[in-house]
């Protein structure tokens, strides 16, 4: 995708701040809500170490999280609760929607590139629930969507590239076919305080995590660890990614403002199936063999500031390096990520 996608991101930021102004008179003892926009892309604007436009080339996700009454007893009844009783358990739920775009290395070729990953798109909606105490966090999500022409990935990439004078992708006729699919995603995180406490002054935290994705689209096991250090750390469980949404269980607890932290994250996946590499499940399509072991490294920063009364605006950036995901891949993949999040009270 192109670096000229920047104007759209700036416009979205302005709109979010404008909405924040409109809610300035809301009382802090209202119900907290969080609206988040995440954009991941391999353009040089947000991924300066990457000169290429290939592989996982763009992802966008819009997320709305809140804390409904009556959810806590339900989630407390599920096995392996992180809290001993309902009073120590915080819960949240959210809805999300997004689109991911994947391409081979050479966008100029018209023919089927048999030794490279296929063109693919994923348009989906999701519903998730979360539970946590101050040190352990669970996330359970169901995503349902479609691949193929119905994902609109073809139209999205061509529109952006053609309007901002980037390379016109020529091979979308070879994309994987339309296919409804789903993913069930579960993640558990543990937060260990190494120095200080969240919410005020300097602090350092270590956040290990483990989880799995089981569905018709992806099947894999994941593990990783995040180290973050900064000033006035939020009460969450680490920075968000599209595949790893931020915790919303503690959005009612506001840290001092302003706050900022830097982080590094190391992770790995054991991959059994990846539709966007191996192709369709129930119809013929192009695909290549996926590597069973994939590693990731991510580094970045997050800052938050109070807007008006209890409202908080958070902005984060990161750069991720992903090891080769399929046989014949031409080196590691690089992805840049922006996250904009607004927590408000109604």
Per-residue pLDDT of the chain (346 residues; tens, 9 = 90+): 444 444 444 444 444 444 443 333 333 567 899 999 999 988 766 767 666 778 999 999 999 999 998 999 999 999 999 998 888 999 999 999 999 999 999 999 999 999 999 999 999 999 999 999 999 999 999 999 999 999 999 999 999 888 877 889 999 999 999 999 999 999 999 999 999 999 889 999 999 999 999 999 999 999 999 999 999 999 999 999 999 999 999 999 988 889 999 999 999 999 999 999 999 999 999 999 999 999 999 999 999 998 777 899 999 999 999 999 998 898 899 999 999 999 998 7
Q: Strand, helix or coil at 11?
A: helix
Q: CA–CA separation, 65 vs 302, rounded Å? A: 19
- SS3 letters across 138-160: EEEEEEEEEEHHHHCHHHHHHHH
Identify the CATH number of the domain defined by range 3-22+35-345.
Answer: 2.40.128.140
Strand partners, 224: 209, 267
Largest CA distance in the chain: 60
Answer for the pair 168, 160: CB distance below 8 angstroms, yes or no: no
Answer for the pair 323, 297: CB distance below 8 angstroms, yes or no: no
- Gyration radius from the chain CA atoms: 20
Q: CA–CA separation, 239 vs 135, rounded Å? A: 16
DSSP 117: P
Residue 313's pLDDT is 95
If we measure between CA atoms, which residue out of 58, 90, 140, 96 comes closest to residue 252?
90
Domain assignments of the chain as residue spans, ordered by start? 3-22+35-345
- Quote the tokens at residue 17: 């701040």
DSSP 110: -
Token pair 């994987």 in the structure block, residue: 176
Q: CA–CA separation, 110 vs 100, rounded Å? A: 22
Residue 121's pLDDT is 97
Residue 45's pLDDT is 67
Q: CA–CA separation, 346 vs 344, rounded Å? A: 7
Q: CA–CA separation, 271 vs 220, rounded Å? A: 4
Residue 290's pLDDT is 97
Peptide bond into 258 cis (omega under 30): yes
DSSP 4: G
CA 318 to chain centre: 11
Model confidence, pTM = 0.89
Q: Which helix (H) or strand (E) holds 215?
A: strand 200-215
Q: Which helix (H) or strand (E) holds 161?
A: helix 153-163
Q: CA–CA separation, 233 vs 192, rounded Å? A: 13
Residue 20's pLDDT is 40
């Amino acid at each position: 995708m192109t670096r000229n996608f920047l104007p759209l991101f700036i416009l979205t930021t302005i709109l979010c701040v404008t909405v924040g102004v409109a809610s300035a008179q809301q009382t802090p003892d209202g119900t907290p809500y969080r609206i988040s926009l995440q954009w991941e892309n391999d353009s040089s604007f947000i991924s300066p170490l990457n000169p290429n436009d290939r592989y996982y080339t763009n992802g966008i996700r819009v997320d709305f999280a809140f804390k409904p009454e009556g959810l806590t007893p339900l989630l407390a009844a599920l096995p392996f609760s992180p809290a001993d009783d309902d009073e120590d358990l915080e819960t949240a739920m959210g809805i999300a929607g997004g689109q991911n775009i994947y391409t081979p290395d050479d966008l100029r070729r018209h023919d089927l590139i048999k030794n490279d990953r296929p063109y693919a798109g994923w348009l989906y909606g999701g519903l998730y629930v979360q539970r946590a105490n101050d040190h352990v966090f669970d996330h359970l999500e169901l995503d349902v969507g479609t691949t193929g022409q119905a994902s609109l990935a073809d139209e999205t990439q061509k529109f952006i590239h053609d309007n901002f004078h980037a390379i016109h992708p020529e091979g979308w006729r070879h994309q994987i076919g339309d296919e409804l699919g789903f993913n069930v995603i579960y993640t558990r995180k543990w937060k260990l305080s190494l120095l200080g406490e969240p919410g005020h002054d300097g602090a350092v935290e270590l956040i290990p995590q483990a989880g799995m994705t089981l569905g018709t689209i992806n099947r894999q096991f994941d593990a990783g660890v995040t180290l973050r250090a900064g000033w006035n750390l939020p009460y969450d469980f680490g920075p968000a990614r599209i595949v790893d949404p931020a915790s919303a269980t503690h959005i009612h607890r506001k840290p001092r403002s302003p706050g900022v932290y830097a982080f590094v994250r190391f992770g790995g996946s054991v991959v059994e199936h990846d539709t966007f590499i191996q192709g369709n499940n129930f119809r013929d399509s192009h695909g290549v063999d996926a590597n069973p072991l994939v590693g990731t490294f991510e580094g970045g920063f997050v800052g938050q500031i109070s807007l008006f009364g209890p409202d908080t605006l958070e902005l984060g950036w990161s750069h991720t390096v992903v090891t080769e995901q399929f046989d014949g891949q031409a080196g590691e993949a690089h992805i840049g990520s922006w996250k904009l999040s607004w927590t408000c009270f109604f």
